[in-house]
Every structure is written in C-alpha cells, then in structure tokens.
Amino acid sequence: MQKFGRTAVLGAVAAVAVFGLTACGGDSSAAPATPNRECTADDIKTTGSFGQVPTITIPDGCAPPKKLLTKDLSAGTGKAAAAGSKLSMNYLVVTWSDKKKLDSSFDRGEPFGLDLGAGQVIEGWDQGLVGVKQGGRRLMIIPPALAYKDGGRGIAPNETLVFVTDALSVS
C-alpha cells in the first residue's frame, strides 16, 4: 500500500471540504443548474394508443432540443405522407417551459385538416409529418425556430412545442 505524505492528505481533505460546502448550499441566490444535455425523443414519455387521448410527460433533467425530433409511436399503414398530401390529424400539444397542455383536437372531437408542405401550418409540422402513414401516431418535438419563434397565438417567445399526432387519413 502506498503511503501519502501529510501535505497530500491535508490537501485532499481541504478539497473535499470545499467541494462539500459548494455542493451543500453556498449562495442560495444562485441560478438553478442548467441541464447539461438536450432531451431526445426517447426522454419524452407518452401514454395512449392511436385514437385515445394521449398524455405527454416532459422530463426536468434535460434541455429542449434545438432541432426537430420525431418518433413514430405506432407506424400506421398505407401511403407515406409527402408534400402535397392531404392529411386529417388529431393532436395534443404541450408547451415545454411549463409542461401544460396548450391545445387538443382530441378534446374538441374535431380533427385538423391540412395540405402537407403548403405552409398552412408551422414549419415543424410541414417537416415533421413527412412519412407519417394513416393510422400512425407520431411524437414531434418542435423547436421555436420551426414553430412560433417570437411567440403568438398564446405561445410565449422561444417556446418548444411537444405534439402527439394521430394521422386519421393520408391521401
């Protein structure tokens, strides 16, 4: 077993003590820690199957992604949506910053129709719904640059939006 000199041991004890004081309190007015990694689509938890009202749970331990993320929760069948496709969709959207439901066509019982790629919706939808098939459920995490950038329509500036969408029809 290697022996350490008294100076090395005292230095190690001092370092642990300083770290302990910093970690256990210190300045209570300091800003909260910023998550050190961006969330992935797998970090977002959802419940419900196609046709059921979904729930979306956004974790606290990671930052909103800076690019569009999509994940098929159920694949669907048939023709894949492309620019020019007519879609009928149900959706639920949650805001990242406060993790609250912003809107839901499921609640209204009224699907939303669009022509994909025609600029009728936010850019994140025009990009994020490419490839979705009828009967498919898709998670989309849309950064502000592809959503409402400076805010609007009840959405705060620089808000990331999290959608679960159901493709009722793709033609």
Mean pLDDT in consecutive groups of 10 residues from the start of the chain, 171 residues: 38 35 42 73 97 96 96 95 98 96 96 96 98 98 96 91 98 96
CA distance 126 to 82: 9
Secondary structure (3-state) at 99: coil
Q: What is the pTM of this model?
A: 0.79
Structure-block tokens of residue 107: 């609640």
Is 162 in contact with 143 (CB distance < 8 Å)? no
Domains within the chain, CATH numbers bracketed: 41-170 (3.10.50.40)
- Torsion (CA) 107, 70, 127, 154 in degrees, nearest 10: 40
CA distance 55 to 21: 40
Structure-block tokens of residue 143: 């950064």
Per-residue model confidence (pLDDT) at position 33: 52
Per-residue model confidence (pLDDT) at position 28: 44
Per-residue model confidence (pLDDT) at position 152: 84
Per-residue model confidence (pLDDT) at position 156: 93
